Each structure stands twice: as C-alpha cells, then as structure tokens.
Amino acid sequence: MKKKVLSALLTTAMLASMLVGCGSSNEAPAASTDAAPAASTEAKTEAPASTEAAEPAAAEEGKVFNIYCWNEEFKSRLTDHYPGYEEVDGTTGKIGDITVKWNITPSDDNAYQNNLDETLLKQADAAADDKIDLFLIEADYALKYVDTDYTMPVKDLGITDADLANQYQYTKDVVTDSNGNLKGVSWQGCPGVLIYNREAAKAVLGTDDPAEVQKSVSDWDTFTATAEKMKAGGYNMVSSVNDTYRVYSNNVSGKWVQDGKIVIDDNLMKWVDDSKKMVDAKETGTFDLWSDDWSKGFYPDGKVFCYFGPAWLINFSMAADTDGSIANQGGWGATEGPQGFFWGGTWICGATGTDNASLVKDIILKMTADEDIMKEIVVADDDFVNNKPAMEAMAADTSYQSKVLGGQNPLAMFCAGAEKIDLSNLSAYDQGCNEEFQHAMKNYFDGKASLDDALDLFYKGVEEKYPELTH
Amino acid sequence: MAKVKRGKVVRYNKWGYIFLIPFVAVYVLFQLIPLFRTFYYSFFENYRSGLTQIGPNFIGFGNYAKMLSNPDLWMYTKNTLIMWVLGFVPQIIISLLLGAWFSDPSLRLKGQRFFKTVIYLPNLIMASAFAMLFFTLFSDGGPINEMLMQIGVLKEPYQFLTNVWSTRGLVALMNFLMWFGNTTILLMAGMMGIDTSLFEAAEVDGATSTQVFFKITLPLLKPILIYVMITSLIGGLQMFDVPQILTNGKGDPMRSSMTLIMYLNNHLYSKNYGMSGALSVMLFIITGILSLIVFKFSNGKQDK
C-alpha cells in the first residue's frame, strides 16, 4: 500500500512536470493567434475600397507570395494602400489570384532573423510556393542580408534609378552592397528629432517654443547644462542614457569593425563620459529602451524632459491612445536637438529565387515610389515617407498638424534631418555591437564595474556573437 | 519438462523487451544520438557569420582549449552553483519540515490536501512567466519598490536587478518557490513509506519528536534524499530559464548571474555549434562527477 502511494505520487509529480513542459511549447502559437484577430479587424475597414484589380500577373508566375516580416506594420500599409490587395484572414491575403502569405515572427531575441536565416539558406531547394518572395529588414542588420546573394539587386527586378530618384539618399546607402548594387527600397524615412515635454520646458526653461528650446539643447555641452536645470526643476533630462545613444552612434567617424578588429569610436566614448556624469548626478536612468521604467516618461508623472525619436515613435509608441498620457494631451514639442540621427525604418528586399518577380517589382514601386500612395500614407498613417517632393509639400502645408505635438508641424525638421543623415559608417556587425556596448556600459553607469571591466565585457559579448572578430 | 519451463521464461522476457521498445526508440532517437553528435560536433569549428557558414573544420580539441583558457567559465560555474545552493538549502529544510508535519498522523493537520496542492502550484507556472512576473515586480519603479517606499523602508528605489546579491537572491528565491512543493511531496512520500511500527516503538521508548526525526526518519529517508539531491543538482547545473528571463539574457550585473547554460545560449547567436558542443560536453562531465560525489558520499556513510 505504502509503495503504491509512493509510486502514485512520483508518477503525478512526473506527469505534472511533463504538462508544464507542454505548456511552454504551446505558448508561442497561442500568442500569435491572439494578435491576428485584432489586426484583421483593424485592416478590414479599409479593404472594400480596393476594387481596382491588380495587373494580371504573368502566366508563369507563382500562385503563392511569401512575405517575411516582424510586425503588422507593412501588412497594414499593404492592406490600406496597395490597389487590389484583399485581406483574407490574419495571415493571408489576395492580390488578384495570387495568395499572399504573411510569415510574421517578432524580432525579440533575434527570432525574426533566426527564422529568416534558416528559410533563406534553404531557399534554393525549397518548392516554388515555399520560397520567400519578399522580406523586410532593418538598418541595424541590413548589410548582413544586403551583402549576400540572397537579396536581389533592384535593377534586376526592372526598377530603374529614375523610379527611385525622389527617395532620400541615406535610405539607399543603407541597402547598397559592397559592389554598389542597390538591394532594397524603403517607403519610410526615419530622421529623428528631440521630443520634449512642453510642460517641463515651460516650467524650467520658461518657454515651450521649439526655436527657443533648441537653444538649450543645441550641442552636448548645453544639453548637459540643461540637464542640471531640469534636475533642479524636478525632471529627468532623458528617461535613460540609451535614449541619447543613437544620436551619438549615428555621428561616428568610423565603422564598428575595421579589418576584423572591433574599434570603439570617439563619439561613443563621449556618450559614455557624458552619460556617466548624468547618471551620477541622477539626471537620468539606465533603463533598457521599451522597458516599463523607460516608458514612464510618456505620462506626466514620469517627469521626463525629452526623448529622442523619429516620426513613428511620436505617432505609435508614446501611448497617444491612452488617456492621461502626455501624447494624448498633445503635450510634446519637437526640435532638432544636438546632432542629427535616424532610428529604424524598414526596407523591402526581393529574395533571390522568387517566383513572383513582377509582383515584387510592383509592390516595391507602388509602396515606395508612387507619389499618390506616398501622400496617402502620410495622411492616413502619419508616417514620414521616403519621397522628397511629397514630404516637402507636406512640410510647407500649414494645415498639417501633429496632434501629439500640440499642433506643431514637424515635417520641415524631419526633411532637413533626412538630407543630413550620413550612413557611410554602417557595418554588418552594428546590431550586435550596439546592443553589447549599451549593455556593457550600463554596468559602468550603475557603478557595478570600472570602465575597463565594462569594456572587457563589451568585447567578450561581441566576440561571442561574432567569433571571427578580435580587438 | 525443464525445456518447456525455460521456453515460458523466454516468452515472458520477449514481452518485456517489446514493452521497452517505445521507450528505447524514443530515447535513442532523441537523447542518445544527439548526445553523441554533441561530442562529435565539439571537435569542429562550425559557426555562422551573418549568412555565411564557416566550417565545419576539424580542429581537434581546439574548442576545449579555448573554452578552458577562458577564466570566465569558472565564474559561470561558480554563479550557477551559488544560485543553486542559495535556493536548495532553504528548499530542503522547508521541505523536510513540511514533509515531517504532513506525514505525522499525531498532528492531525487540517486542510492537508489544500496545502499540498497550494505548495505545488508555483511549479505549474512556466518558469519564464514566473521570471517575467518577478522582473516586473522588482523593477526600479515596480510595485515592490513602491510599497517599500510608501511604508518608509526605503527612501529611493532599490535597484534589485543591478546588484549582485539581490539578483542572485531573486533567482534563488524563484527556484525555491517553484521547487519546494515538489520536493515536499517527494520527501513526504518517502516518509510515508517508513514502517509506522518504528515510530510507535520509539514513542514507547520515550523518544522526543526531535529524536524520532533525526534518529529514525532521516536515516530511513536517505535513498529519497539522495534522489532529491541528485535530481536537484542536475536541474541546478542546467539552470537557465529563470535567470535568462530575469536578466534579459545578460546575466547582469557584470555577468554575475550568468549560468553555464546561459553562456551556452550566447554561442547560439552565431550558431556556434563547435563551442557550444564543447561546453555541453564539459557540463556533462561536471554533472557526472558531481553526481558521483554526492552518491559516493551518501553511500559511504551508510557503510559505517
């Protein structure tokens, strides 16, 4: 009897732990089905408008069009603005008689790239309907894909330089491979600005006029001086040191990796010095971007003076839909800030081996180079699109106002910023290097390590990610 | 006659083997082959740089040399063991206590079933969800800090996750919470297996409950204790999900809460199967040695 009780208990313990195991593996699909209905209802509202049939696809083209991306953004752009796109359900759509399959993997923990890598490496052997036709990439790791044969030069798709003449140069630089071939196209420009809390500006600087505020943040020295005033006024200058990181890192004088060696640029060391001073003076925190602590400043109680970000941060990420947030009350202002920078942006690449080349071409042209659609996107989605004439026209238009920014029209600032961005110092290792650098320096800022130890930690982290590098 | 009997025995054996087939097949396919392949892979330089595959090139013990020459490996081993011990010691004490109480009929505890279920519940939550919960609770502006500030214990938020011992402590606390119910049930099962006449005899002889516990329960519980110890040790060495999620994969501060498996996971960013294979093999050996030590140590005592 006793033995039976014992064995029964042991079995239940074992079964229970097995169930726990099953639970965790089931979690992923559950999460993705969660997200789907919300997206489809949101997209459905616009769908009926598209009665124009798509251009009849050439007979030899595939019937399945696979798109790889990491969120719903491109999908909703395509649903809303591509003529002839019909939403079928959360993960499929139709263009004419071609089925569009969305393969959406979130980019957390590198999951998107891991998935994309595995699929791309099998691209040559995959059945025509399983081949990736089109995928999206970000600037941080663009070169990883662009500098390989897995992406198609856009001119092989039949897209000419003249088609893309209105696009900002930096968006082309990001996706130009080492042989000078353009391998991707973006519909967005992501020049960033300094987004400040108007209330804080009034309280501490005595004005919330963008031109006047700019005088207090025009370079890094005045920026740090203003940080002291903000501290005295009860505000943190920025939410986290990582807010300023991109502004420094976009203005470096050399690449992260030169001849297989990791090189830390002077401007990044300046970020370390400036940030350490601010953290020690308790003028900012060391939170990770997107953490709860970081986004507290989106609300008045968070007491944060400014964030750095492009149009999409202002429009989508600062809790504009939540009652009581600063964005909801139109309490932000925008000004150029100490240095120009960009953040994010999505590039469309055609995958080598696609069986729908003409559709890839058409999507790229419609979504990135058609001026009418570009204007539609600005109006409907508040995006900053990659089209100079369209943006300049909008910038001059006094009727265009950003609600989040309290009625300010920030587009002129973005236009000027987009022209100034210089991306000649991108490397294929940027993503890993930037992440590891910010993470290692957090230890230094928090006082958990000396600068040398933190730098060692940085090298260690990068060399684990890229075993071929040394320092 | 004798021949017929032997034939029968063989026939029974056959069924035994047949019933074993599903287990053996699954074990060989999903455990044994991967195990040997890990050994095999660990002798190759084999990783991916971007989309370019480097190798596999045979480099003998190159990965092992690189791994062992890295002083950090011992730091990660130390971190893992520290966090395991921090969680295991309170776990075994509490479990023994609870087990003794639950299995003691003279106490007539009420609501036993309820409490047995409740203490097991934390184990049913996914470790990652549990870690996410703690991450939010103990973040700089999280509810714990806010509470402590409101009741006046702290003046400004305590950065739980940027201090070495608070981070390790949280990992240990979570592991403790998740596993003490499981251990209690195992120990209780062991205690219930002890012949009650022994306890009665001790009572008749006038032994105190402390004496009963240390002189009767503990020695007779030893096989179960060893089992608990070894499984927990193996689980502890493979600690991953809790610290990984709690520290966002970084093992902050300064990798003082990075465990061996988290380190292994770092190598998977570049699909570095050579280095991670070597690390796995070393972990296999370390686990084997430690388990042997525990086993010998506990058995040796019994021989006396």
Report pLDDT digits (tens) over B141-155.
Answer: 889 999 999 998 888
Which of A5, A144, A449 shows the shortest C-beta gap to B50? A144
Relative orientation angle of helices B164-192 and B218-237, to the nearest 10 degrees: 140
Instruction: Check CB contact of B146 with chain A, cutoff 8 Å.
Output: no
CATH for A47-190+344-396, options being 3.10.129.10, 3.40.190.10, 3.30.56.10, 3.40.50.300: 3.40.190.10
Segment B281-295 shows an average pLDDT of: 88
Of B51, B140, B189, nearest to A145 by CB-CB distance is B51
pLDDT tens readout for residues A230-245: 999 999 999 999 999 9
Residue A387: CB partners within 8 Å, gap ≥ 6? A166, A167, A369, A371, A374
Q: Which residue shows structure tokens 């502004």? A: A247
**pLDDT score for B207:** 87
Long-range contacts of A107-111 (CB under 8 A, 24+ apart): A107/A70, A107/A71, A107/A138, A109/B249, A110/B269
**Nearest beta carbon to residue A292 from set B136, B190, B270:** B136
Whole-angstrom distance, CA of residue A358 vs CA of residue B33: 46
Handedness of CA A51, A54, A56, A61 (dihedral sign): negative
Contacts of B127 in chain A (CB under 8 A): 24
Q: Do domains A47-190+344-396 and A193-341+408-465 have the same CATH topology?
A: yes
User: Is the model's pLDDT at A47 over the cut of 60?
Assistant: no
Mean pLDDT of A418-432: 85
CB atoms within 10 A of CB B209: 15
- pLDDT higher than 70, residue B300: no
Please answer yes or no on whether A449 and B249 come within 8 Å at the CB atom: no
In single-letter form, the type of residue at position A34 comes to D
DSSP class of B107: G
A117 in reach of chain B (CB within 8 A): yes
Closest CA to B259 of B269, B272, B271, B245: B245
User: Residue A161, CB half-sphere, CA atoms under 13 Å: how many?
Assistant: 5
Which phi and psi (to 5°) does residue A265 adopt?
Answer: -75, 155
Q: Closest chain B residue to A111 measured between Cα atoms?
A: B269
Question: Which of A99-103, A145-149, B186-190, B293-297 has the lowest average pLDDT?
Answer: B293-297
Whole-prediction pTM value? 0.80
Question: Is B5 or B131 the better-scoring residue by pLDDT?
Answer: B131
Distance CA B156, CA B154 (A): 6
Half-sphere exposure of B213 toward its Cβ, with a 13 Å CA cutoff?
A: 14
Non-local (6+) Cβ contacts of A109 within 8 A are: B249
Q: Does the structure show a pLDDT above 50 at A25?
A: no
Provide the β-strand partners of residue A42.
none
Q: Give me the mean pLDDT over the A345-371 stretch.
A: 90
A18 in B contact zone (CB under 8 Å) = no
Percent of the residues in chain B that have a pLDDT greater than 70, as a whole number = 94
**If you classify domain B72-270 with CATH, what class do you get?**
mainly alpha
- Looking at 3.40.190.10, 3.30.1600.10, 3.30.2010.10, 1.10.287.130, the CATH number of the domain A193-341+408-465 comes to 3.40.190.10
**Per-residue pLDDT tens over the stretch B36-87:** 999 999 999 888 887 888 878 898 888 999 888 888 889 999 999 999 999 9
Q: Chain B: nearest CA to A211, how far in angstroms?
A: 34
pLDDT of residue A3: 55
- Helical H runs in B55-163? 62-68, 72-103, 112-120, 127-137, 143-150
Decide if the complex's ipTM is over 0.90.
no
pLDDT band at A21 (very low <50, low <70, confident <90, very high): very low
Give me the pLDDT at residue B113, please. Answer: 86
> CB within 8 A of A167, min separation 6: which ones?
A185, A186, A368, A369, A386, A387, A388
Return mean pLDDT, chain B: 87
Query: Residue A419 burial (CB < 10 Å; 0-12/13-18/19+)?
Result: middle
Q: At residue A345, what is the residue type?
A: G
Q: Which of B49, B126, B185 sits opposite A23 (nearest CB)?
A: B126
Cβ contacts (< 8 Å) between B272 and chain A: which residues?
Answer: 464, 467
**Cα–Cα nearest to A460, from B70, B253, B74, B42:** B70
Which among B178, B269, B275, B276 is the top mutation candidate for probing chain A, defined by the most A β-carbons within 10 Å of its own β-carbon?
Answer: B269
Instruction: Tell me what pLDDT residue A4 has.
Output: 57
For chain A, which residues make up each domain, given as ranges?
47-190+344-396, 193-341+408-465
